[in-house]
């Protein structure tokens, strides 16, 4: 079992006040063997993991998604307590883009790839959704934790959310949903523990936590709204049934 460690620092890409009271080598031009792995969150609070892997060669021509000379992707969306969802997609390394969808079209996503991290938005049966993946990541090289956040101060505040995180070495990615808003974020992990304040629009939020074995827990503070609370989760909360 690992010793406890702290990690944080999420730079939220979607601008909103978070809580109110109401492995492998980086390979940017990939052939079969390209892998992406991380977390998924939707508006309804469903949490899980996304795994994608290259199934055909790709040139570095810079073609946009929907055209030729890209890597075809196969994969799975694993939602806690539900059957596996099969995925098909495309990855354009030169264009820094990724897109994938379920075979029946119920899930559909588009995103960008920067610094070996892929993130984006789309939709599923649970409404608007988001993903945050490591390029070159796999289930064996990336740790994923699905967590629930609650507001505890001031007393009576009712905001809730999901902080679903993927950890690869010193890097941390988050896909989250807070009061019906989905967001993606990035941060860092270290043995000493770090802390980063989110400052975007009206939000100024600090998120910090500790990983111990297969569990994660921590605190958050939103200085812009004067609220704060806790969050906790585990590896098992991301696990799906067979499909």
Task: Provide the 10 A C-beta neighbour count for residue 58.
Answer: 23
60-64, 164-168, 205-209, 224-228: segment of lowest average pLDDT: 60-64
Compute the distance between CA of residue 191 and CA of residue 116 in angstroms, rounded to an integer.
22
DSSP three-state, residue 171: strand
DSSP three-state, residue 43: coil
At 183-223, the pLDDT tens digits run 888 888 776 443 334 444 555 667 788 888 888 888 887 77
At 6-33, the pLDDT tens digits run 444 444 444 334 444 443 333 333 344 5
Contacts of 74 (CB under 8 A, 6+ apart): 52, 53, 55, 86, 87, 88, 89
Tell me the β-bridge partners of 48: 40, 79
pLDDT at 65: 43
At 67-111, the pLDDT tens digits run 445 789 999 999 988 889 999 999 998 899 999 999 999 999 999
Compute the distance between CA of residue 25 and CA of residue 85 in angstroms, rounded to an integer.
27
pLDDT at 146: 93
Q: Answer for the pair 167, 187: CB distance below 8 angstroms, yes or no.
A: no
Q: Is the peptide bond before 165 cis (omega within 30 degrees of 0)?
A: no
At 122-159, the pLDDT tens digits run 999 999 999 999 999 999 999 999 999 899 999 999 87
Whether the CA torsion 99, 103, 105, 107 is positive or negative: it is: negative
pLDDT at 56: 56
Compute the distance between CA of residue 73 and CA of residue 98 in angstroms, rounded to an integer.
9
Q: Answer for the pair 189, 167: CB distance below 8 angstroms, yes or no.
A: yes
CA 202 to each of CA 11, 114, 198, 214: distance values in angstroms, whole numbers, following the listed order: 13, 26, 10, 34
Say what the pTM is.
Answer: 0.82
pLDDT at 17: 40
- Residue 155: HSE in the Cβ half-sphere, 13 Å Cα cutoff: 0
Q: Answer for the pair 220, 187: CB distance below 8 angstroms, yes or no.
A: no
Q: Tokens 């297969």 correspond to what residue?
A: 214
Q: Where are the domains of the chain?
A: 5-238
- DSSP notation for 3-31: PPEEEE----SS-S-S-----PPP-SS--
Tokens of 217: 């827990």
- Model confidence band, residue 48 (pLDDT cutoffs 50, 70, 90): very high
């Amino acid at each position: 079992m690992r010793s406890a460690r702290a990690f944080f620092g999420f730079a939220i890409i979607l601008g909103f006040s978070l809580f109110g009271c109401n492995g492998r080598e980086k390979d940017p031009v990939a052939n079969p063997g390209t892998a992406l792995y991380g977390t998924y969150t939707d508006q309804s609070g469903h949490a899980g993991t996304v795994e994608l892997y290259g199934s055909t060669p790709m040139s570095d021509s810079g073609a946009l998604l929907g055209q030729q000379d890209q890597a075809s992707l196969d994969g799975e969306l694993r939602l806690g307590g539900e059957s596996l969802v099969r995925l098909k997609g495309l990855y354009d390394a030169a264009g820094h883009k990724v897109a994938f969808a379920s075979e029946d079209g119920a899930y559909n996503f588009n995103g960008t790839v920067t610094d070996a991290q892929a993130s984006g938005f789309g939709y599923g049966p649970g409404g608007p959704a988001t993903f945050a993946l490591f390029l070159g990541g796999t289930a064996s090289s990336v740790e994923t934790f699905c967590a629930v956040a609650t507001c505890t101060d001031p007393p009576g505040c009712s905001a809730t959310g999901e902080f679903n995180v993927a950890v690869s070495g010193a890097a941390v990615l988050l896909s989250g949903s807070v009061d019906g808003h989905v967001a993606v974020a990035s941060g860092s992990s270290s043995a000493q523990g770090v802390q980063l304040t989110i400052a975007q629009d009206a939000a100024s939020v600090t998120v910090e936590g500790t990983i111990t074995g297969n569990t994660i827990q921590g605190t958050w503070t939103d200085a812009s709204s004067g609220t704060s609370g806790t969050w906790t989760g585990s590896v098992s909360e991301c696990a799906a049934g067979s499909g």
